[in-house]
Every structure is written in C-alpha cells, then in structure tokens.
C-alpha cells in the first residue's frame, strides 16, 4: 500500500452526513462534500448552497466551481463566519492564479506544478478547498477530507486552491 497523507472519512468530518437522506441518494457530489467540510456546515446546508449558488443539478457534477469560489473571495462573502482567499500568484487581470513554484535542479531553476503532496507539506496548518482535475476535496490541518484515494494520490496536480478561514 502506498504511503499517503493523513485521511479522515467524509462521515466523520461532515456534520449530518450519516443521517442525511439527500447524501444517501447523491453521486458526483465532491464539491458539496468539500464545501461542507471546508466551511464546517452540514451536508444538507452545503447541498442547498451549492445547488442555489453554483447551479449544481442533483446527482451531477458541479461546473464553474473555480469561478464561483473566486467570486465568493472577491465579494468577501462570509459563509458560516468564514471567508475565502485565492491562493497562488495572480497571473492575469482576469483572475487567473498559478500555483507553480520554483525548484533548483542541475540544469538551473525550473517552475513546477504544485502537487497535492507538496501543497500539504507547504501548508500544514489551515483549511483549504482543493481543486484537481474534475474533482474537489478539503485539506484541513494536513488531513485530507474527501475520497480515500485523495490522500494516496499525492502526485496529482492542484489546479486551484482556496484558503477558508
């Protein structure tokens, strides 16, 4: 078995997940679960919020999450008394952020994409809403909350990250 990051199951990390009839009938709800665990709200509240504000359709994935999270950060909206901050270096006036970092190699200095393992190592404290290719999860104080394989696949490239505090 691969050595992974610390992991917490969804039912342990999200309020009301086990008792929720909505959760039992859902699929493709990684954004809802990441939202619930990052903002420390119940699954049902997160489900309703993501449906109303992100345009999610039941049992289907959530599209435009990056734009919606960025909008929450720019509007300085509070959700459960928590605010969102975009992480990375701003690369354009259109709100694009880059999580690339510099590494010294024998050939000189190169820029590399941030991986889940590197992100967790560089951010051991705090709550982070993480977006990788077609998936979302939370890292809270170095512990992954999402699918079990999110903690094992440390080489996945982090597309966008938002700090929730």
* pLDDT for 121: 95
* pLDDT for 92: 72
The verdict on residue 105 lying in a domain is yes
* pLDDT for 96: 75
Say how many residues make up the chain. 165
C-beta separation of 11 from 37 below 8 A? no
- In this prediction the pTM is 0.93
The verdict on residue 1 lying in a domain is no
Task: Enumerate residue ranges in the chain where pLDDT < 50.
Answer: 1
β-strand 7-8 against 127-132: which pairing, if any? unpaired
Helix, strand, or coil here: 47? helix
The verdict on residue 2 lying in a domain is no
The verdict on residue 159 lying in a domain is yes
The verdict on residue 66 lying in a domain is yes
Domains held by the chain: number: 1
Of the CA atoms within 13 Å of residue 85, those in its CB half-sphere come to 10
* pLDDT for 3: 82
Domain that holds residue 54: 7-164
To which H or E segment does residue 140 belong?
Answer: strand 135-140
What gap in Å lies between CA 30 and CA 63, rounded to an integer?
11
To which H or E segment does residue 53 belong?
Answer: helix 43-54
């Amino acid at each position: 078995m691969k050595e992974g990051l610390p992991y917490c199951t969804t039912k342990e990390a999200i309020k009301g997940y086990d008792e929720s009839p909505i959760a039992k009938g859902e699929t493709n709800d990684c954004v809802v679960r990441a939202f619930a665990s990052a903002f420390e709200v119940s699954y049902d509240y997160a489900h309703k919020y993501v449906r109303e504000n992100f345009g999610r359709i039941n049992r289907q994935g959530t599209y435009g999450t990056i734009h919606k999270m960025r909008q929450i950060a720019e509007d300085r909206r509070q959700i459960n008394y928590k605010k969102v901050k975009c992480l990375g270096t701003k690369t354009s006036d259109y709100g694009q952020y880059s999580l690339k970092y510099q590494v010294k190699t024998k050939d000189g200095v190169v820029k590399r994409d941030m991986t889940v393992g590197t992100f967790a190592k560089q951010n051991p404290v705090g709550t982070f809403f993480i977006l990788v290719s077609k998936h979302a999860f939370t890292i809270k104080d170095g512990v992954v909350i999402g699918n079990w394989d999110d903690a094992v696949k440390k080489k996945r490239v982090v597309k966008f990250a938002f700090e929730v505090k």
